[in-house]
Structure 1
Amino acid sequence: MINQSVKKFPICFVRDLPDRLGKTVVIGDKELAVFKLSNGKVRAIENRCPHKGGVLSEGIVSGEFVFCPMHDWKICLEDGKVQEPDYGCVKNYQTIIEGEEVYLLIE
């Protein structure tokens, strides 16, 4: 059950997401990197690396992580945290799949 204060935005169809590659999606003033993982889960994070602003949707995906295409920073797609020895984080967003459509949940 989704909390009533959470807004649900349709962002794409599952078929539009290539496996283990990113897709840039713009919702209002937010630019997101959306990924369909090999396990079928869909993850969405802010589309800019906290290091030098690399476009994360262009990064390489491995498991639950994306590697920034600029300097290879490893970022967890589940919580947005940059992995050591680097540091920082990006905003992550909850997604749900209903039927064939992917929705972004924003409070």
Structure 2
Amino acid sequence: MSWIAIGGTEDIPLRGARCVATPLGRIAVFRTVENRFFAIEDRCPHKGGPLSQGIVHGAQVTCPLHGWVISLETGKAQGADEGSVRTFALKVEGGKLLISSDALVSMTA
């Protein structure tokens, strides 16, 4: 697997997100209060809301449009809601965020 640098860990505030534009869509990169990083598609499976603008709590994000809760670890909707978004491999090396090159190749869910 190859990796692409997308920025530094300091670029994302605790409980915040930033987006990476790809030829096939936007990927939201989140940082939890526990200083963990996750990358998922930036669209809620419900109505396509921008998850990057949602509230991060634990390892989940709440969509700002209709309150759906999405797991940052699995991409699956929580509770009674159904649906999912694609997750992407992400790693941290020396303060740099690296995303799997697979994120730029195929975003089919």
Q: CA deviation at 1:29?
A: 2.0
Residue 26 of structure 2: SS of its match in structure 1?
strand
* Residue 31 (str. 1) matches residue 20 (str. 2): no
Report the RMSD for the aligned CA atoms in angstroms: 1.0
Q: CA deviation at 1:41?
A: 1.1
* Residue 56 (str. 1) matches residue 26 (str. 2): no
Q: CA deviation at 1:7?
A: 2.2
Moved more, 68-77 or 97-106: 97-106
1:3 is aligned to: none
* Residue 87 (str. 1) matches residue 82 (str. 2): yes
Q: CA deviation at 1:72?
A: 0.4
| 1:31 maps to amino acid | R
Q: CA deviation at 1:27?
A: 2.9
Q: How far apart, CA to CA, are the structure 1 residues paired with 2:27 and 2:98?
A: 13
Q: How many residues align?
A: 102
Residues 43 and 78 in structure 1, CA contact (< 8 A), matched pair in contact too: yes
Q: How far apart, CA to CA, are the structure 2 residues paired with 1:13 and 1:27?
A: 18
Q: How far apart, CA to CA, are the structure 2 residues paired with 1:97 and 1:10?
A: 9
* Residue 69 (str. 1) matches residue 64 (str. 2): yes
Q: How far apart, CA to CA, are the structure 1 residues paired with 2:22 and 2:98?
A: 11
Residues 93 and 106 in structure 1, CA contact (< 8 A), matched pair in contact too: no
Could you list the runs of 5+ residues in structure 1 that have no partner in the other structure?
Answer: 1-5
Could you list the runs of 5+ residues in structure 2 that have no partner in the other structure?
Answer: 103-109
Residue 10 of structure 2: SS of its match in structure 1?
helix
